[in-house]
Chain A
């Protein structure tokens, strides 16, 4: 069964649970990378990502939609054309940010697909649209950091 079909059989609680799981996977991924990181700077960066995703999960669980209400900033597409790094134990901060931004982009697309799928249900459509936007906001902040640090052009 594909995701869209699965969704059509789910209640709102299950859908929320699925979203929370999606965030949990990100937390697990970044925690693993943090624990494997060889230098302090990568550890710090992964910890920051874990914190971001955890805040995200808590917001979802408590249905704190007020955090997601604003429209997302423009998609900067800074990392769209970059190569996707493989998760390994000695990643540079540059690779970590690219990996995380690409992940956010994929998750945003997933939520966007869900929003499109539920175009007949205003509530679900809006909810998923807001989730997609939230991921894009996340991507935006990572890409902003990427620009500031790795594209200084000095």
Chain B
């Protein structure tokens, strides 16, 4: 990737940069935080951020940008931090990423930009994620300039409906409002943000950040409609034909929980991760009795899975007062898809890990509540296509353990509602919407992106897909005007 070298503001001699230690992120003490829902990471101080930025060795070919799915101009924003121009740095990131305060917190940097940072070959990589988070927070606290510099464009008179307010939908809204279209976001739930509000817990991503992002978009003119299920409240055809929307973006996410299909999954006390996390996050179960959402306080909660969802669920169970909270995972820790930081934090908070174990049945008492899990031990076989070694059950290794709460976090699929109510939109055999690179679906004027197209992925990929669709939608709308003129 060709990248003009940014102006260097780093005054630290090159050799010295190698000896500066990576700046540790201040965080809440593990014993304290495992009993509260406040954010774990506290963010770098301005002094730390400048020191961390000075570790960048300004590579001629900055591989960090190649590691970023949306090619944020990482070397440029780091140089602006060296110059203490934090707002400028945030604006630089915003050129490519509309949600930096969120991505700085939840992106798996260790497998993206930081994995390929040249410093990381010999030393620790520059803490790009922490720097992104720092400048985004700084800009939010000091009036991020985004609203102030926003000039309302002349209206095109064209209407765009965005279905789903996750990162994909928000990215489309942010880009299309700048083009002068009338933008309305329809959301099925009673809060906006998708997984960012109902899935990822407060202790990892404070909801206030989402509220601010939504408020900024509202101030720019985006309309937000909640409790509106497209496909039920109104179909896509109705939105277009009756409500006059010229184009529609579907950012529906992959919110349908998957179960394992083993006996006992319907017992009391067995939840999908979605239900469990939604009860806690969105319905503020953690604030019981302030909020009227009871959540069971377990003696032994097991969470089945090894991804970010499983880590969020297990750490939530612990915070809700479970005496013991255990991750039960089919593979070994090396194969876990969760971010390293989440695994590390979970361990610090006292979460137990039972790897190479898979439940095959949940057992109940007379009241139909789960009281035990029958499990099998696994061993690792040959690697699969992803390079992860495959777990294979060990014959005769069954054992039973006492549990009184189970959360299934093995993955999510797409909700079939839109496919069922809009047969014009082509889906694949997994129920994902088929869309081209720019998000065009098989239905004219309807675009889609994020998890509903890719299957469960990441925030940055969903946001990136939304931005690509926004460009294509804008083109589509312009052509529509030309054709009708």
Interface residues of A (CB under 8 A from B): 38-42, 44-45, 48, 73-77, 80-83, 85, 93-95, 98, 144, 147-154
Bound state CA distance, A133 and B254, in angstroms?
36
Contacts of A95 in B (CB 8 A): 261
Specify the chain B residue showing the minimal Cβ separation from A77: B393
Contacts of A74 in B (CB 8 A): 381-382, 390, 392
Taking the nearest CB of chain A, how far is it from the CB of B434, in angstroms? 10
Contacts of B208 in A (CB 8 A): none
B310 in the interface (beta carbon within 8 A):
yes
Interface residues of B in 123-169 (CB under 8 A from A): none
Contacts of A75 in B (CB 8 A): 392
Specify the chain B residue showing the minimal Cβ separation from A147: B384
Contacts of A144 in B (CB 8 A): 384-385
Specify the chain B residue showing the minimal Cβ separation from A96: B429
Bound state CA distance, A48 and B428, in angstroms?
12
Majority SS at the chain B contact face: loop
B104 in the interface (beta carbon within 8 A):
no
A80 touches which one: B305, B381, B393, B412 (CB < 8 A)?
A: B393
Contacts of B227 in A (CB 8 A): none
Contact A152 B411 (CB under 8 A): yes
Contacts A41-B416, A154-B411 aside, 8 further interface pairs with beta carbons under 8 A come to: A41-B428, A42-B429, A77-B392, A83-B263, A153-B306, A153-B310, A154-B456, A154-B457
Contacts of B61 in A (CB 8 A): none
Interface residues of B (CB under 8 A from A): 258, 260-263, 305-310, 329-330, 336-337, 360-361, 376, 381-382, 384-385, 390, 392-393, 409-413, 416, 419-420, 423, 426-431, 455-457
Specify the chain A residue showing the minimal Cβ separation from B398: A81
Contact A39 B419 (CB under 8 A): yes
Specify the chain B residue showing the minimal Cβ separation from A38: B420
Bound state CA distance, A153 and B329, in angstroms?
9
Most A CB within 10 A of own CB, among B336, B428, B430: B430
Bound state CA distance, A153 and B457, in angstroms?
11
Contact B262 A81 (CB under 8 A): yes
Bound state CA distance, A18 and B429, in angstroms?
32
Taking the nearest CB of chain B, how far is it from the CB of A53, in angstroms? 17
Contacts of B261 in A (CB 8 A): 82-83, 85, 94-95, 98
Bound state CA distance, A94 and B429, in angstroms?
10
Contact B360 A81 (CB under 8 A): yes
Bound state CA distance, A154 and B261, in angstroms?
18
Bound state CA distance, A39 and B455, in angstroms?
18
Specify the chain B residue showing the minimal Cβ separation from A81: B360
Contacts of A41 in B (CB 8 A): 416, 419, 427-431
Bound state CA distance, A44 and B428, in angstroms?
8
Contact B262 A93 (CB under 8 A): no
Taking the nearest CB of chain A, how far is it from the CB of B310, in angstroms? 7
What 9 A-B pairs come out closest when comparing CB atoms?
A81-B360, A152-B411, A44-B429, A154-B456, A153-B307, A154-B307, A82-B261, A153-B305, A45-B429
A152 touches which one: B382, B429, B456 (CB < 8 A)?
A: B456
Contacts of B419 in A (CB 8 A): 39-41
B426 touches which one: A40, A153, A154 (CB < 8 A)?
A: A40
Specify the chain A residue showing the minimal Cβ separation from B419: A39
Q: List 26 A-B contacts (CB under 8 A).
A: A38-B420, A39-B420, A39-B427, A40-B427, A74-B381, A74-B392, A80-B393, A81-B262, A81-B361, A81-B376, A83-B262, A85-B261, A93-B430, A94-B258, A94-B413, A148-B385, A150-B410, A151-B410, A152-B337, A153-B306, A153-B329, A153-B336, A153-B337, A153-B410, A154-B411, A154-B412
Contacts of A93 in B (CB 8 A): 429-431
Contacts of A80 in B (CB 8 A): 393
Taking the nearest CB of chain B, how far is it from the CB of A10, in angstroms? 34
Contacts of A73 in B (CB 8 A): 382
Contact A150 B258 (CB under 8 A): yes
Bound state CA distance, A85 and B308, in angstroms?
29
Taking the nearest CB of chain B, how far is it from the CB of A13, in angstroms? 37
Contact B416 A153 (CB under 8 A): no
Contact A151 B330 (CB under 8 A): yes
Bound state CA distance, A80 and B361, in angstroms?
12
Contact A152 B307 (CB under 8 A): yes
A82 touches which one: B260, B412, B413, B429 (CB < 8 A)?
A: B260
Bound state CA distance, A39 and B307, in angstroms?
29
Bound state CA distance, A40 and B433, in angstroms?
11
Query: In the complex where A39-B416, A74-B381, A81-B376 touch, is A149 in contact with B263 (Cβ < 8 A)?
Result: no
Contacts of B361 in A (CB 8 A): 81
Bound state CA distance, A80 and B385, in angstroms?
21
Specify the chain A residue showing the minimal Cβ separation from B330: A151
Contact A81 B393 (CB under 8 A): yes
Specify the chain B residue showing the minimal Cβ separation from A143: B390
A153 touches which one: B262, B409, B413 (CB < 8 A)?
A: B409
Bound state CA distance, A65 and B262, in angstroms?
37
A39 touches which one: B392, B411, B431 (CB < 8 A)?
A: B431
Bound state CA distance, A115 and B360, in angstroms?
31
Contact B431 A154 (CB under 8 A): no
Contacts of A44 in B (CB 8 A): 428-429
Taking the nearest CB of chain B, how far is it from the CB of A40, in angstroms? 6
